[in-house]
């Protein structure tokens, strides 16, 4: 059974700092890994998606890496801003087992606070 | 505007009452999903539907029921059998069951007292 863990559970940093969020998963047989952002009381917004054959993806100040063999991904946020404050969720898409369909398995999230 | 709508945003119920959460999408997506989110936990899959008139249990289906009579709609009923119903509920859809790209609604926060 796939399990996804995110460290740290919460992170508070001053504005301008570079930071790294970590995600690990137990079964390396994944199709892809996604990073989502969730603002308080809201739905999820997809930030980055890395296919299993890729090593990293970049979007603006965000860079996500994937090491499938070790079951790890990191989300790097450069020059953090107060507007980056949110919960960041990692999710892996892997076979649901016994079906031809995949399934998203989520980590518990990292609550990021960037203070001015 | 295309997207997923969930209503209401906040819902309050007394213990022992069934309650139905609405999820509607106008994306013409085949697959729809219900997730539950508790504080400090990730999303957990309750039910999913790959096509109209078909649905399967997810990881935590006990105490919940769904229907999929129309492609656009996938309502979730939280029954009195659900021991801890207070949570944030998220609905999602994908263009087809094999697609990893899921689009999420804004969520409904259910509080049962």
* Three-class SS of chain B: CCCEEEECCEEEECCCCCEEEEEEECCCCCEEEEEEECCCCCEEEEEEEEECCEEEECCCCCCEEECCCECCECCEEECCCCCCCCEEEEEEEECCCCCCCCEECCCEEEEEC
Check whether A105 has a pLDDT greater than 70: yes
**Which pLDDT does position B110 carry in this prediction?**
96
B88-105 mean pLDDT? 89
Give the closest of A101, A103, A106 to B42, CB-based.
A106
CA distance A107 to chain B (A): 5
Contact check, Cβ <8 Å, B100/A31: yes
**Which pLDDT does position A102 carry in this prediction?**
78
**Which pLDDT does position A97 carry in this prediction?**
65
Contact check, Cβ <8 Å, A43/B90: yes
Give tens-digit pLDDT for B41-69: 889 999 999 999 999 999 999 999 999 99
A85-113 mean pLDDT? 87
A52-61 mean pLDDT? 95
**Which pLDDT does position B39 carry in this prediction?**
87
Query: Cβ contacts (< 8 Å) between A108 and chain B: which residues?
Result: 40-42
**Which pLDDT does position B106 carry in this prediction?**
94
Distance (Å, whole) CA B46 – CA B56: 9
Check whether B1 has a pLDDT greater than 70: no
Mutation target to probe the A interface, by most A beta carbons within 10 A, among B5, B21, B43, B106 is B43
**Which pLDDT does position A1 carry in this prediction?**
85
| More confident position, B63 or A101 | B63
B95 in contact with A at a CB cutoff of 8 Å?
Answer: no
B85 in contact with A at a CB cutoff of 8 Å?
Answer: no
Check whether A116 has a pLDDT greater than 80: yes
Q: How confident is the model at residue B96 (pLDDT cuts 50, 70, 90)?
A: confident
Query: Cβ contacts (< 8 Å) between B21 and chain A: which residues?
Result: none
| More confident position, A100 or A52 | A52
Check whether B7 has a pLDDT greater than 80: yes
Query: Cβ contacts (< 8 Å) between B40 and chain A: which residues?
Result: 9, 108-109
**Which pLDDT does position B42 carry in this prediction?**
87
A106-114 mean pLDDT? 97
């Amino acid at each position: 059974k796939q399990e996804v863990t995110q460290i740290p559970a919460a992170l508070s940093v001053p504005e301008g700092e570079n930071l790294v969020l970590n995600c690990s998963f137990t079964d390396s047989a994944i199709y892809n890994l996604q990073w989502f952002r969730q603002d308080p009381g809201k739905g999820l917004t997809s930030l980055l998606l890395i296919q299993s054959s890729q090593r990293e993806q970049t979007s603006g100040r965000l860079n996500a890496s994937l090491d499938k063999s070790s079951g790890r991904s990191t989300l790097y946020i450069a020059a953090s801003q107060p507007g980056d404050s949110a919960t960041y969720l990692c999710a892996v898409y892997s076979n649901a087992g016994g079906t031809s369909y995949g399934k998203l398995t989520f980590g518990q999230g990292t609550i990021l606070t960037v203070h001015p | 505007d295309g997207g997923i709508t969930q209503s209401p945003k906040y819902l309050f119920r007394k213990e022992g009452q069934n309650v139905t959460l609405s999820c509607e999408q106008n994306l013409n997506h085949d697959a729809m999903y219900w997730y539950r989110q508790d504080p400090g936990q990730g999303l957990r899959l309750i039910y999913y539907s790959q096509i109209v008139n078909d649905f399967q249990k997810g990881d935590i289906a006990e105490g919940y029921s769904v229907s999929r009579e129309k492609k656009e709609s996938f309502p979730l009923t939280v029954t009195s059998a659900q021991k801890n119903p207070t949570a944030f509920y998220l609905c999602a859809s994908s263009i087809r069951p094999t697609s990893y790209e899921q689009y999420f609604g804004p969520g409904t926060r259910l509080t049962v007292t």
